Amino acid sequence: PFRVWLDNWSMTGSEDSPFPMQLQAQEEGIGIDLTLRPAKPRVLQGDRGLSQKGPGSGNASYYYSYTRLDTDGTLALNGDTLSVTGASWMDREWSTSALGPEQEGWDWFSLQLDDGRDLMYYQLRRTDGSPSEFSEGVIVDPDGGTQRLDRSDVSIEVLDTWTSPDGAHTYPVEWRLRVPGEDIDLEITSLIPNQELDVSVRYWEGAVRIEGSASGRGYVEMTGYGDSPGSPAL
């Protein structure tokens, strides 16, 4: 069967498919045992799965998503085991290149709205902080239909920021994201401001809540706020 693992973290599918997928992981008093099943079909991001990130032929990735996966299982925390249900999101992306020399990072939004729509949008930032023309995204309708978004369709305004304890990095933690053509006007707020990861590349990623024209929940990843962006998401 399909199986990917790293030590005691694993992702296992059936004999001929990744789904239903079982996720299992355990680390220092915390563990998960979850089963995921697609509630919507796979979405090929970009041009039939090829997502161009910059002007060079190598500034691209292959990228697909399952934006809504019915999820159930257990969460273990300090000796207690809780039954959980919810909706997950799976991105799969791979490439051989980081961003172009004129780009410094990205703000990547994966949002599940309570009206049944899902929204993915990544804003690539130039070195002067302005959005790159290669920023793009997609709206996934409740029935799985898709609508591509480009930079002209979306506006993002930063409403609040958070600075890391050492004072070296300041990240947005609250945004207003609008898609006027789709009557979408969202206020997005981090559940916890400090969701910074200090690994080989220092970046921020974590959970957010959504209010405004629709409510919901989501996930945001940001790079390039003080360090070279590298390619942690690619």
> 3-class SS at 45?
coil
Q: Give the pLDDT score at 97.
A: 74
Q: Residue 202: which of 165, 161, 174 has the closest Cα?
A: 165
Query: Which tops the pLDDT comparison, 153 or 199?
Result: 153
Whether the pTM exceeds 0.95: the reply is no
Phi first, then psi, for residue 183 (nearest 5°) are 55, 40
Q: According to the model, what pLDDT value does residue 231 have?
A: 41
At residue 99, the pLDDT reads 82
Per-residue pLDDT of 133-168, as tens digits, reads 999 999 999 999 999 999 999 999 999 999 999 998
Look at strands 50-52 and 80-94 and give their pairing: unpaired
Domain boundaries, the chain: 39-222
Listed residue (69, 70, 84, 68) closest to 31, CA to CA: 84
When pLDDT is cut at 50, 70 and 90, the band that residue 16 belongs to is confident
Is the pLDDT assigned to residue 234 strictly greater than 50?
no
pLDDT of 229 over the 80 cut: no
Q: How confident is the model at residue 58, as a pLDDT?
A: 83
Q: Which architecture does CATH list for 39-222?
A: Beta Barrel (2.40)
Distance from the first to the final alpha carbon of the chain? 25
**Scanning the structure block, which residue is given the tokens 């509630």?**
39
Question: What is the per-residue pLDDT across 87-135, written as a single tens digit (0 to 9) for each?
Answer: 999 999 998 776 888 999 999 999 999 999 999 999 999 999 999 999 9
pLDDT value of residue 230: 45
Q: Which two tokens stand for residue 174?
A: 């609250």
pLDDT digits (tens, 9 = 90+) for 40-84: 999 999 999 999 998 887 889 999 999 999 999 999 999 999 999
Band (232; pLDDT cuts 50, 70, 90): very low
What pLDDT is stored for residue 227 in this prediction? 63
